[in-house]
Chains A and B, each alone.
Chain A
Amino acid sequence: MNIIVVMKQTFDTEEKVSIQNGQIVEDGVEFIINPYDEYAIEEAIKLKEEFGGEVTVMTVGPSRAENALRTALAMGADKAVIVDDEELFGDEYTISKALAHVIKDRDYDIILTGNTSVDNGAGQVGPRLAEELGIAHVATITKLSIEGAVATLVRDVEGDTETVDVKLPLLVTAQQGLNEPRYPSLPGIMKAKKKPMERLSADDLELDPETIKAKTAIVEQYLPPKKEAGRVLSGELQDQVKELVQLLRNEAKVI
């Protein structure tokens, strides 16, 4: 079975985000594999263990993202591909177009990715990529089993679950609960050093960046305002209720 995992390197979820001149500061920041993509990697390795084959992990991002790919290789993936050409960085539209170019001539039975990234949180790359490739996709899966050419998936539908059977090839996005990602073992880390890492640019992909320019732009970035101390109302309960309603209407303007 040929398995592709699309992943992203993101800020460590424990990092404090700081902004300077409208840009997020990356100096001294720890980066990790997007946690939802980790589920995708784990599931891919489990599929390989069950059916044999090969797991290729890929990302579009700066060269620092190679570390995330290395970790995936240490977990048990076989090959890595990074598109580290800045001209192809854009938005979800650009990224999914670029990824489709990388994938279109490769053999694959299933593509796995996280259902969203914890930084931008758009949740678009997976479904967009499936559309580009003309294959089916199922989002937010919490269970996956494959028999013959059919995958049976349980997906999280905001508080309930839905079970669907889909023919391969297929793209799925992983939701929390799908599995418990393994640690990279020391022998895994050692082996990863010798596994292939393919670096691709727009030229390699015979792709004109002008044709897939981002459709969206970030106008401004700012941190949420600091939480101010709350107000405690006092007096008779009836008066407090009146005051609260007044405040909600006139000050907070929510009713």
Chain B
Amino acid sequence: MDKSFLDELRQGVRAVCGDFPDAYWRELDEKRAYPEDFVNALTAAGFLGALIPEEYGGSGLGITESSVILEEINRSGGNAGACHAQMYTMGTLLRHGSEQQKQRYLRKIADGSLRLQAFGVTEPNTGTDTTQLKTTAVRKGDKYIVNGQKVFISRTEYSDLMLLLVRTTPLDQVKKRTEGLSVLLVDLREAVGNGLTIKPIRTMMNHATTELFIEDLEVPVENLIGEEGKGFSYILDGMNAERILIAAECIGDGRWFIERAVGYANQRVVFKRPIGENQGIQFPISRAHVNLEAADLMRFRAAELFDAGQKCGAEANMAKLLAADASWEAANVTLQTHGGYGFAEEYDVERKFRETRLYQVAPISTNLILSYVAEHVLGLPRSY
């Protein structure tokens, strides 16, 4: 890993983020608005095309570099959740799409003129038990007719394209439940109002997540990604990348929290001395920092394995768990350090606190990571 290049990358992202201070994110949070200006600036500067190969107009970087980009966004006080998927959703298209599909879409995704930052997998009644999903696509001539429902699908209102996981062969007609699922590329600009209804879900943080109602939506057969029936394996191989990138966002949050906690502890004077002189204040901040550093090592380890093309499922999952726990610990400590002011909107701690809590649950619950480690790393019986 070329550290000086990573430093340059960090500075590049910081330069963009510098124009979007706390007040920008605070106001968006209040209005539950999408950070359109920020996403446009980041896109124009090319950072969201990091993973796209140079031959398709991207920068051809690895997960290590890409994770640093997302880390810096969260470290600046912002939230990469608004646009991180533009970076990696295209991975499914890149790995399994036809040359024609890649030529048609990747270049535009790289330059930002097309947004592919939504992936419809989760359904109201299936959650992580993905193979049980109920949305179906039935082939009729040169079209698929799609029916079903999805929930917690992020950014559909701010995306041009969406990948959609559907069942193309009914469960009772496949040998293994992981078979018979397919990935379709849905053009949201045409689909909305023509079989697709998007309903926003208001959540405890400013995250543009939605519910999708799909009724006789027509998707051209040419928009099938890869082979019919193999969709489940296509989404699985994108998950390690996502785990590592999200771990990096957690690290970014954690760094932001620690910086704020230290700053406040040094400056806040009570009983005629800075509160940071008390070990009761210092120790929790130090511990949060130590845990964050440890999580960061696992994140870089996982990224290194991923970029070398080696197996990294265990490391990617462990990095996500450690980083999510570390950022949450740092959030809690920072809130405690700030006392009442931590709850005041103008300090931004409560906002980041709400935001970083999400990583315990999404995109994968920490419980499921523990189940994964138990089964796949330790050889314990499958518990789910």
Interface assignment of A237: CB less than 8 Å from any CB of chain B: no
For A71, the chain B residues whose CB sits under 8 A away are 8, 11
Tell me the complex Cα distance, A109–B305, Å: 50
B17: min CB distance to chain A, Å: 10
Interface assignment of A190: CB less than 8 Å from any CB of chain B: yes
Q: Are B45 and A70 in contact (CB under 8 A)?
A: no
Interface assignment of A104: CB less than 8 Å from any CB of chain B: no
**Which residues of chain B (1-33) have a CB below 8 Å from chain A?**
4-5, 7-9, 11-12, 15-16
A87: min CB distance to chain B, Å: 26
On chain A, which size bracket covers the interface? Answer: 10 to 19
On chain B, which size bracket covers the interface? Answer: 20 to 34
For A188, the chain B residues whose CB sits under 8 A away are 46
**Which residues of chain A (181-240) have a CB below 8 Å from chain B?**
183-190, 193
Interface assignment of B47: CB less than 8 Å from any CB of chain A: yes
Tell me the complex Cα distance, A188–B46, Å: 9
A191: min CB distance to chain B, Å: 10
Q: Are A186 and B8 in contact (CB under 8 A)?
A: no
For B59, the chain A residues whose CB sits under 8 A away are 186-187, 190
Tell me the complex Cα distance, A190–B5, Å: 9
Q: Are A183 and B16 in contact (CB under 8 A)?
A: yes
Interface assignment of A246: CB less than 8 Å from any CB of chain B: no
Q: Are A183 and B15 in contact (CB under 8 A)?
A: yes
Q: Which of A67, A183, A193 contacts B45 (CB 8 A)?
A: A183
Q: Are B45 and A186 in contact (CB under 8 A)?
A: yes
Tell me the complex Cα distance, A187–B9, Å: 11
For B9, the chain A residues whose CB sits under 8 A away are 186, 189
**Which residues of chain A (140-194) have a CB below 8 Å from chain B?**
183-190, 193
Q: Are B45 and A185 in contact (CB under 8 A)?
A: yes
For A189, the chain B residues whose CB sits under 8 A away are 8-9, 12
Interface assignment of A44: CB less than 8 Å from any CB of chain B: no
Tell me the complex Cα distance, A151–B214, Å: 63
For A112, the chain B residues whose CB sits under 8 A away are none
Interface centre among A71, A74, A183 (most CB of B within 10 A): A183
**Which residues of chain B (189-204) have a CB below 8 Å from chain A?**
none
Tell me the complex Cα distance, A189–B15, Å: 13
**Which residues of chain B (40-98) have a CB below 8 Å from chain A?**
41, 44-47, 49-50, 59-61, 69
Select from chain A the residue with minimum beta-carbon distance to B8. A189
Tell me the complex Cα distance, A71–B10, Å: 12
Tell me the complex Cα distance, A184–B8, Å: 10
Given contacts A183-B45, A185-B45, contact A74 B15 (CB under 8 A): no
Q: Which of A67, A70, A187, A193 contacts B46 (CB 8 A)?
A: A187
For A183, the chain B residues whose CB sits under 8 A away are 12, 15-16, 41, 45
For B47, the chain A residues whose CB sits under 8 A away are 185-186
Q: Are B5 and A184 in contact (CB under 8 A)?
A: no
For B8, the chain A residues whose CB sits under 8 A away are 67, 70-71, 74, 189
Q: Are A186 and B5 in contact (CB under 8 A)?
A: no
Select from chain A the residue with minimum beta-carbon distance to B48. A186
For B12, the chain A residues whose CB sits under 8 A away are 74, 183-186, 189
For A67, the chain B residues whose CB sits under 8 A away are 4, 7-8
Q: Are B11 and A186 in contact (CB under 8 A)?
A: no
B147: min CB distance to chain A, Å: 40
Q: Give the interface of B toward A (CB within 8 A).
A: 4-5, 7-9, 11-12, 15-16, 41, 44-47, 49-50, 59-61, 69
If A74-B8, A187-B59 are given as contacts, then 10 extra A-B residue pairs at C-beta distance below 8 Å, sorted by A number, are: A67-B8, A71-B8, A183-B16, A183-B41, A185-B12, A185-B45, A185-B46, A186-B12, A186-B46, A186-B69
